[in-house]
A = this chain, B = another copy of it.
Amino acid sequence: MSAEIICVGTELLLGDIVNTNAQYLAQQLARLGIPHYYQTVVGDNRERLKQAIALAGDRAELLIFTGGLGPTPDDLTTETIAEFFNVPLVERLEILQDITEKFAKRRRQMTENNRKQALLPQGAQVLPNPSGTAPGLIWQPREGITLLTFPGVPSEMKRMWQETAVPYLIERGWGQQIIHSRVLKFWGIGESALASKISEFFDRTNPTVAPYAQTGTVRLRVSAKAASEEIAAGLIDPVAQQLQEIAGPDYFGADEETLTSVVGELLRDRGETVGVAESCTGGGLGAMLVDVPGSSDYFLGGIIAYHNEVKASVLGVSREILLQQGAVSEPTAKQMALGVKKQLGTDWSLSITGIAGPGGGSEHKPVGLVYIGLAAPDDTVDIFEYRFGAERDRATIRYISACHALDRLRRKLIS
């Protein structure tokens, strides 16, 4: 028994949006232990959608659709599914009422095209959408095949999945064999260097170990199959332990843990606080720190000193240094870190100043040159110089700068 994900929408084929829905559903299926081997993206086109249904229906027993449930004429999923299985659409009064109420509550005018969203194939069950107007369906058009449809709006889809689809699937015995995974995360080591260090682990079968890289963070997925999550976790534990020992401080966390959450935990345990002084990242490091609920326990705030005048007047960076050594320099990073620490009264502080590009680089100070300052409770400051290379784009340089800053604090806190 396996599932397939079919994402419907010409906007996906045109690249207007990134398919986060497929990722979410994939994670959810993995968590439930429901195997899925293919994902298909198809446009708002009746014939091609039918072909996709035919193919997926041959390969899998559970077909999960996202997109194409909206009120506009190019939203074709429901009617195409009905057509494919040769079943008429009927208007559902309960859906119509729900839509009418939602519009009234939001004090918006319900439009005639919203009526279309009340049509479902005869025999299908409503998959309620508590946060939007487009409901989905749960339908077994014939023995051995179950269809679920969701709107394309990620927040609506997720809620519908959690509140209705998951209980439905579990009740019907989907996902009896558990695949349980743990993702180990590493910072400061490349994928192939890590892969060489741990190459003998790749031949294992239960758990399996597989690497994958994203910008900056290298990940190893350790996956076990077992009758229960507990048994699977027992298979994973010793292998994960060995991998962590081999990697040393380059290992920083697992699963939902991020550099930010790990640094946060370390600070919380010590009862210490941090502040940030940001130039090229413009607030991105602070925004990362507040990603974690409860970050107010240790993150007090910061100064975004994008303009040099702010570096001088608010952070107290010497105007002479700014003039002679420049805003992107070791002494500026040092004074920024000390400046914000003093202003905010934190135990620790991080500063970032660099050239994110695409302009502003020179021979001596190329795009990608970034200084990170880390001030400790005793006011000693460590400065780290990075040269990320002008071939990286502005967003990447800013993102990895913020990550490296967090990583430097992490290494200091565990040393």
Contacts and interface: CB of A to CB of B under 8 A. Distances in A.
Interface of A: 9-20, 22-30, 36-45, 48, 52, 55, 70-74, 108-109, 111-114, 130-131, 133, 152-155, 159, 181, 183, 190-193, 195-196, 199, 202, 210-215, 219, 221, 223, 276, 278, 280-287, 289-291, 293-296, 299-307, 309-310, 313-314, 343-345, 356-359, 391-396, 398
B300 A302 contact: no
A283 B359 CA distance: 23
B71 A195 contact: yes
Given A17-B23, A40-B41, A313-B345, 15 more contacts: A11-B212, A11-B221, A12-B26, A15-B25, A15-B29, A38-B52, A109-B193, A155-B393, A155-B396, A282-B287, A284-B287, A284-B290, A286-B286, A303-B314, A313-B344
A17, A72, A131, A289: most-surrounded residue (chain B CB, <10 A): A72
Contact of A39 (B12, B196, B291, B343): B12
A195 B27 contact: no
B19 A23 contact: yes
B286 A285 contact: no
Given A282-B299, A290-B283, A14 B221 contact: yes
Contacts of A191: 70, 72
A304 B291 contact: no
A13 B25 CA distance: 9
B36 A183 contact: no
A212 B293 contact: no
Nearest to A278: B283
A10 to B, nearest CB: 7
A283 B294 CA distance: 16
A163 to B, nearest CB: 11
Nearest to A159: B391
Given A159-B391, A282-B286, A286-B283, A192 B14 contact: no
Given A302-B283, A310-B300, A41 B42 contact: no
Contact of A40 (B40, B196, B285, B313): B40
Contacts of A152: 212
Nearest to A41: B39
Contact of A358 (B20, B215, B280, B293): B293
Number of copies: 2
Contact of A293 (B39, B42, B45, B394): B394
A211 B155 contact: no
B40 A39 contact: yes
Interface centre among A41, A193, A284 (most CB of B within 10 A): A41
A154 B212 CA distance: 13
Contacts of A52: 38
Contacts of A199: 113
Q: Which 6 A-B pairs have the closest CB atoms?
A: A283-B283, A283-B286, A282-B290, A15-B27, A15-B26, A39-B41
B19 A210 contact: no
Contact of A195 (B72, B202, B215, B391): B72
Contacts of A281: 287, 290
Given A18-B20, A19-B18, A113 B303 contact: no
A314 B359 CA distance: 32
